[in-house]
Amino acid sequence: MRRFEDSALKRLENQDPFIVSFVGGKGGVGTTTLCSEVAAFLSSKGIEVGVADLDLFGGDLNIKFDLALSGKTHTLSDLVPFAEELDSGVARNAFSETRVHVYVLPPLKNPRQVSSIYPSHLKKIIDAASQSFNILLVDCASGVNPLTLPVVSTSKLIILVTTPEIASISGAKRIIDALEEESCTSGWLLVVNRSIGARDSLALAEIEAFLGMRTSVIISEDTENARRLTDEGRFLFREKTHLARGILLLARNILSRAQRPSILLE
């Protein structure tokens, strides 16, 4: 196992920044859950991983990592005024180390600050921070958000999370269309979360035909474990459940793409 971790790190250390954006077509599809699980998995492999919460108003990523928003905790709010001249060291210092050694940047302290933010600010902050981590994950608000589009469209990899429901699939399609308009060249992974298998009202083939994209990972619905483990402050990927198997599949898929960025273009 140790050997795997060492080689995983070695291949990541000398490469370009690797930014992975997590987006969901509708609220509550599991974007933040999957982003935090992947981050904790990568960190458990010895990889230095940062996570920026770009769900500017309602982000709750800090809760998944037990990170209190005390006066001492830096957030995106502290970086925005310096976005234009930010270097990677300053950006990195705003991320707080958490108990699982994932470095987290919570979103805005004051939602009113959004009126002074331009998309270029967020792009500069993310680009600067990404230089200090092996992998930087970005958790986005659901739906299409003009402020975060430039960050998402220039990520190496986009994780598009949907549930097998019409409203969520429609939202996912709007994201794909918006990013195509931005001439996005990122790689994509489509994740169908909260699946109940054959009892899903939409079949996988219908989802794929509508989105024009193959599914990379299907993750099962497991409200009982998701709720209990989250409330106990535990990560889902560590358990022996179908849910954990899906999360691990996603996390390993992301890791292999980070190790071999050329496969994004295949």
- Give me the residues that bind ligand ATP (CB under 6 A), please: 24, 27-33, 55, 142, 193-194, 219, 221-223, 226, 230, 243
Q: Which is nearer to Mg ion, 31 or 75 (CB)?
A: 31
Residue 43 binds which entry of ligand ATP, Mg ion, none, with Cβ cut-offs from 5 to 8 Å by kind? none
Cα separation values, 17 from 87, 186, 259, Å: 14, 13, 11
Crossing angle of helices 204-211 and 166-181, rounded to 10°: 30
For residue 54, give the 3-state DSSP assignment.
strand
Q: Which is nearer to Mg ion, 32 or 195 (CB)?
A: 32
Q: Which is nearer to ligand ATP, 86 or 217 (CB)?
A: 217
Residue 193 binds which entry of Mg ion, ligand ATP, none, with Cβ cut-offs from 5 to 8 Å by kind? ligand ATP
- Give min distance, CB of 242 to ligand ATP, in A: 9
Q: Which residue has the tokens 């709007």?
A: 174
- Give min distance, CB of 256 to ligand ATP, in A: 22
For residue 102, give the 3-state DSSP assignment.
coil
User: d(Cα 220, Cα 192) in Å, to the nearest integer?
Assistant: 8
Residue 127 binds which entry of Mg ion, ligand ATP, none, with Cβ cut-offs from 5 to 8 Å by kind? none
Residue 148's nearest CA partner among 46, 208, 59 is 59
Site residues for Mg ion per CB under 5 A: 31-32
- Give min distance, CB of 179 to ligand ATP, in A: 18
DSSP state, 115?
Answer: G
- Give min distance, CB of 203 to Mg ion, in A: 26
Q: Which is nearer to ligand ATP, 58 or 81 (CB)?
A: 58
Note the helical H segments in the chain: 2-13, 31-44, 61-64, 76-79, 88-93, 119-130, 149-153, 166-181, 204-211, 223-231, 242-259
Q: Which is nearer to ligand ATP, 29 or 175 (CB)?
A: 29
Residue 62 binds which entry of ligand ATP, Mg ion, none, with Cβ cut-offs from 5 to 8 Å by kind? none
